[in-house]
Structure 1
Amino acid sequence: MEEFVASSWGREFVAGGFGGIAGIISGHPLDTLRIMQQSSKTGTAFSILRNVVTTEGPTALYRGIAAPLASITFQSAMVFQTYATLSRALDPSVSPKDPPSYKGVALGGIGAGAVQSLMITPVELVKIRLQLQTESHKGPIDVAKSIIKAEGVKGMYRGLTITMLRDAPAHAFYFCTYEYMKEQLHPGCRKTGEESLRATLVAGGLAGVASWISCYPLDVVKTRLQAQSMHPVPKYTGIADCFRRSVREDGHGVLWRGLGTAVSRAFLVNGAIFAAYEVAMKGLGSRGSVVLADNAIL
């Protein structure tokens, strides 16, 4: 284990896991609210929130957290490791002593998003079913069993195509925004590795906002496709049909329903993810230090 953590691959993997856990814990209530907004036809974020808390209690906002929390360490670790590897491998013209170019960052982000799609599709399918509680389930394992029983193992990957279309380009925006904003907020930090904690939090938050805005209509379609029951017949026959019918029935505004909740959550969650990631990387001895204040360094 010590040899694993001592390696570059191991440090990226462990730090990515810490970042993922921080993001899930901080943002799941707002994620539940976003899913409810996307699947409903009426109601503001506040009215939906008030109704859920009044009728089911505040803990209902954490419904479905077990599935992503159980997988997030490995998932986030793989995403950060894939990004770190591809951002350099796909632009070899940059010296190993210098930070990856923005071209490498974008290409690495696309690759990381594609890898994440393969891991996250079954998890999000189960999470959405639990968050919406379209049927009575005891937990994530019960949901997974019911899906496999009704649709086979391939049913767990319903929504893979739309998830990949969402995540691959969104991660390019995600990592590019983070690297660019971090450098703007703390000039020179990409080369020295000594960014301030404030720069990390703000850059991470803005990266999350940028990535969600870039892919939000696709996320709405994905939620509706994964939330639908396949029996007796599915409501939507595919991505294009879901997009077309959603707009026809609810107007173009449906493609942005819940965006305010999503970007609020994105800023909070991704600030936490990158802060935890960077602090963990420093703690594992991979980079410089995280500057907490003008005279305080971690």
Structure 2
Amino acid sequence: MDFWPEFMATSWGREFVAGGFGGVAGIISGYPLDTLRIRQQHSSNSGSAFTILRRMLAVEGPSSLYRGMAAPLASVTFQNAMVFQIYAILSRSFDSSLPLEEPPSYTGVALGGVGTGAMQSLLLTPVELIKIRLQLQQHTTRTNSGGGPVSLAKTILRTQGLRGIYKGLTITVLRDAPAHGLYFWTYEYVRERLHPGCRKTGEENLTTMLVAGGLAGVASWVACYPLDVVKTRLQQGHGGYDGIADCFRKSVKQEGYRVLWRGLGTAVARAFVVNGAIFAAYEVALRCLFSQLTPAYVVTGK
């Protein structure tokens, strides 16, 4: 009976809830664009994002834009709490000599982000695999299969085991480790440029949070996008690819190097919206949950 009040009385509890708010805001705001991106990456015949959007709305209905959202939404609270907590710990560990009153160096921020991206891949890989397969289902296929995220996960585990549910783990680590390093570095750098001194005081405004978070998302996605295309194709469940190198080689041979950047415009638009929402919701939630304004690097470092 006393668990929730005690949980919320701790900094970890409030950070967990704030991370959940950020993750939910990011998923809801950007999921339709994510669905369009996945379909663009899947096939060279899919057309532009607007063509796919019109076709999906006409044939499959508006709900098709949110197909497969249950899997990432169900895990997003824990995932975001884990990401922010691990990042805070790792970024501090590279600057252990600094007092808590000082923000971690940009080097510590980047290295902490790299470690965070690698570790979160363990949770993210099965979630994204299920999400991708549901997003690529056409209406008729989905009707015949009758499967949602739980049913699909059970089928994969039953037929392929853990190896099947973790297909794409290596490429996910290769994508997320450097991308998260750039992601957190960009956020910290841009917010400081837009609002000098805010890394120490935590007094930046909502516009700074939205812009810094949005640009951080754009930078990280542009840097890792070719790897994301390969990951989508490896996790789609068919295609006859024998590993990362084989998928890369066959994709380029069949469709040219442009295939590695297909859907980038959609991904960039989504990244700005989603990551601006994530950081803004996270920071605002922290300010509501804590009785006094505390810099985010101190809050998450506890």
TM-score higher than 0.5:
yes
Residue 161 (structure 1) aligns with: 170
Residue 198 (structure 2) aligns with: 189
Tell me, yes or no, if the aligned pair for 2:171 and 2:227 is still in contact at 8 Å.
Answer: yes
Residue 294 (structure 1) aligns with: none
RMSD between aligned alpha carbons? 1.5
Work out the CA distance in 1 between the residues paired with 2:205 and 2:190. Answer: 12
Residue 14 (structure 2) aligns with: 11
Matches within 5 A, 1:1-298: 1-42=4-45, 43-133=47-137, 135=141, 136-229=145-238, 235-285=240-290, 288=293
Structure 1 residues 171-229: Cα deviation after superposition (integer angstroms, max 9, x where no partner): 00100000110011111111111111000000000000001001000000000000033
Tell me, yes or no, if the aligned pair for 2:201 and 2:294 is still in contact at 8 Å.
Answer: no
Percent of aligned positions that are identical: 69
Structure 1 residues 124-168: Cα deviation after superposition (integer angstroms, max 9, x where no partner): 010011000175342001111221122112210000000010001
Residue 300 (structure 2) aligns with: none
Work out the CA distance in 1 between the residues paired with 2:234 and 2:289. Answer: 41
SS in 2 for 1:19: helix
Structure 1 residues 85, 151: CA separation in 2 closer, same or farther (over 3 Å shift)?
same
TM-score scaled by length of structure 1: 0.92
Tell me, yes or no, if the aligned pair for 1:113 and 1:170 is still in contact at 8 Å.
Answer: yes
Shift of the alpha carbon at 1:41?
1.1
Shift of the alpha carbon at 1:2?
3.2
Work out the CA distance in 2 between the residues paired with 1:31 and 1:195. Answer: 29
Shift of the alpha carbon at 1:14?
2.1
Structure 1 residues 241, 286: CA separation in 2 closer, same or farther (over 3 Å shift)?
farther
Shift of the alpha carbon at 1:287?
5.9
Tell me, yes or no, if the aligned pair for 2:49 and 2:263 is still in contact at 8 Å.
Answer: yes
Per mean C-alpha deviation after superposition, the further-off stretch among 91-100 and 58-67 is: 91-100
Residue 97 of structure 2 aligns with an amino acid whose one-letter code is S
Residue 253 of structure 2 aligns with an amino acid whose one-letter code is R
Consecutive unaligned residues in structure 2, runs of 5 or more? 296-302
Work out the CA distance in 1 between the residues paired with 2:291 and 2:185. Answer: 21
Runs of 4 or more, structure 1, over 4 Å off, are: none
Higher RCO structure (Cα 8 Å, ≥6 apart): 2
Shift of the alpha carbon at 1:84?
1.1
Shift of the alpha carbon at 1:5?
2.9
Tell me, yes or no, if the aligned pair for 2:210 and 2:276 is still in contact at 8 Å.
Answer: yes
Per mean C-alpha deviation after superposition, the further-off stretch among 77-86 and 5-14 is: 5-14
Tell me, yes or no, if the aligned pair for 1:15 and 1:277 is still in contact at 8 Å.
Answer: yes
Consecutive unaligned residues in structure 1, runs of 5 or more? 291-298
Shift of the alpha carbon at 1:283?
1.2
